[in-house]
Amino acid sequence: MNKKIITPICAVSALALVTLPCFTFMNNANASESTKGDLIATTNDFTLANTKLSSGKDETVYLLADADGLIKSTFIGSTLYSEGKALPFEVKVTYSLDGTEISASDLAHQSGHVKISYNYNATATYQGRKVPFVALTGLNLDATKFKNVQVNGGKILREGENYTVAGISVLGLNENLGTDFLPASFSIEADVSDFTLDTVYTLLLNDVIADLDTSELSNIDGLVSSMNQLSDGIDQIVLGSTALSKGAGELSAGVKTLQTSASTLSDGISSAAAGSVELSQGLETITANDESLKQGAKAIITSTLQSLNSNPTVMYILSQLKIKAITLENYDSVITKILEIKDDTDLRQAKSLLDFATGVIGYTQGVEAAASGASELASGLGLINSKMPELISGVGALASGADELYSGSIKLKDGIAAFKAEGIDRLVSFANRDLAGFTWNARQSVSAAKSYHNYANPSAESVKFIVKLPSIK
C-alpha cells in the first residue's frame, strides 16, 4: 500500500476525469468548418490536414487508425512519418452485436445489444521490462440511440443529448508487476438503435509513470522485515501452544489417576503440578516474543496509515468528509465511509491489514495475562499436592475440569497451527517473495518508462501519442 506504488492508479483516474472531457471535444483552431470538433483534422484517405506541430522538447505523434485500431498513417506534427519505426504499443478494437463479433462497417445502423472493446498492449521493452503507458480514451455516444450504457474500466458522464465516455487503461504494468488488477482494456455495452459512432481519440503517454519517485519504496522494504519478525514471533506461539496442550494432557491424566486409586493420588497430583509448570513455561516462551510481535504489528499499522493518508484520492475524499486523517482509532468507520464513495480493492486490503495488526496486539495482551495466571496455577497445584487429604473429595470435579482444559488446549494448539500455516506463512511468503519482488518490479517499471521519451525526435524529453479512430456512420 505504499503511496508510490498506488500513485499510478490514482493519477490515471485523475487524468481521465479531468483531461478526457476536454480532450474529446477540444476544437482544432486550424481545421476547416467540416472538421471543427476534431482534435486531428483528416481527409477521407487518411492524410492529415492542418494540425499543430510538435515543438521543443515535447514530441507529439499523431496516429490515424481504422475502426479496428490498425494504424494507417503516422504524423509528426503535420508531416507524414514514413521511416517505419515500430510503435511502443498496439491498439485493437472489437465490436459485437447480440453476442456475435461483427465488423465496424457491418455494425453501422444496426440495432441490438452492442459491445465495443478497446484493448491495449505494450510492445516496447527495456532491460526485460515492458515500457508502460497510460491510455486515456474519449468518445461520445448519442443518448437518443444508446440506452442502458455500461462501462468496464472507465467512467460515464452525461452531457445533454450525449454521453461522454472516459476509458482508462494502463499498458505493461500488469506484466511488469506480476499483477492482474490494473486495467489494460476497457469496454462499453449498451442497447442501441440505429448504431453510429463519432470519432474516437486515445491519448497515450508514460510521463505519469516515468515521473514517479521510487525513493520511498524503502518503507515497504521495512514492512518485509517486520513481517519476518512477526513470523518468528508466531513460531514461538506455536511452540508455546504445543507445550500448553502437553501440560493440559498431563494434568488431565494426573486427575484421572486420583479418581482411580487413592494409593496413586499423590503421584497424579505431582504429574498435574509438573504439567502446570510446563504450561507456565510454555506461556513464558510465548510472552518472551511478545515485544517483537507487537513491534511487527505496530510497523504494519504505521506503514499502512502513512500510505493511506498520503494517497491523493484518499486525501481528497477525507477533505470532502471534513476528516483530517485516518487514525488507528477511526480507521474502521472512515475507510467504510470511503468505500461507500469509491469501492477500491487496495483500500479493502489496507483495512484487513489494520484489522489483523490490531488483533495481533490484542492477542499478545491476552497471552501475557494467561502467563501470569499460569504461574499462579503452578503455585496452586503445589499447594494441592501438599494437602492431598483435604482435596480427595474434590477430585471428581477436578477431573471434569481437567478434561475440558485438555480439550480446549488441543483446539488452541490446532487453531494456532492453522493460523500460522494458512495466514501468517502465506503473508510472510508474499512479503518476502511477491511484495519484495513487487517493489523491485515497480522500480524497474519506472526505469523502463523513463527510458522511452522520444519517437522520431532524438532530442525530445517526453513523447505522447494521439490515436484517431474514424467515425462509424
Q: Is residue 372 in some structural domain?
A: yes
CA angle (428, 432, 437) in 5-degree steps: 140
377 and 411 together in one domain: yes
**CA dist 81 → 25, 48, 61, 71, 77 (Å):** 26, 11, 9, 12, 9
39: burial class by Cβ within 10 Å (0-12, 13-18, 19+)? buried
User: Which residues of the chain have a pLDDT value below 70?
Assistant: 1-56, 216-252, 254-266, 268, 272-273, 275-277, 279-283, 286-288, 290, 368, 371, 373-374, 377-378, 380-381, 387-436
Same domain? 294 vs 315: yes
User: 406 and 264 in one domain?
Assistant: yes
Same domain, 435 and 342: yes
Whether 199 and 240 share a structural domain? no
Predicted local confidence at residue 135, as pLDDT? 92
Judge if 115 and 250 occupy the same domain: no
Q: Helices (H) and strands (E) in the chain — how many of each?
A: 14, 15
Please report the pLDDT score of residue 3 as a whole number.
Answer: 42
Distance in angstroms (rounded) separating the CA atoms of residues 378 and 434: 45
| Residue-wise pLDDT tens digits, 7-32 | 444 444 444 444 443 343 333 333 33
Same-domain status, 181 and 119: yes
- 282 domain-assigned: yes
Q: Indicate whether 117 and 30 sit together in one domain.
A: yes
What was the pLDDT predicted at 303?
82
The predicted-structure confidence for 176-217, as pLDDT tens digits, reads as follows 988 888 888 999 999 999 999 999 999 999 988 888 877 766
Residue % of the chain over a pLDDT of 70 = 60
Within a domain: 100: yes
Q: In this structure, is residue 213 part of a structural domain?
A: no
CB 196 within 8 A of CB 471: yes
CA distance 225 to 234: 15
Does 410 lie in the same domain as 279?
yes
367/464 same-domain check: no
CA 56 remoteness from chain centre: 38
Alpha-carbon dihedral sign for residues 373, 379, 384, 385: positive
pTM attached to this predicted model: 0.54
4 located within any domain: no
Range of the domain at 384: 218-444
CB 222 within 8 A of CB 382: no
Total tally of structural domains belonging to the chain: 2
Measured distance CA(251)–CA(268) in Å, rounded:
8
User: In this predicted structure, what is the pLDDT of residue 181?
Assistant: 81
Q: In terms of domains, do 462 and 429 share one?
A: no
262 and 293: one domain? yes
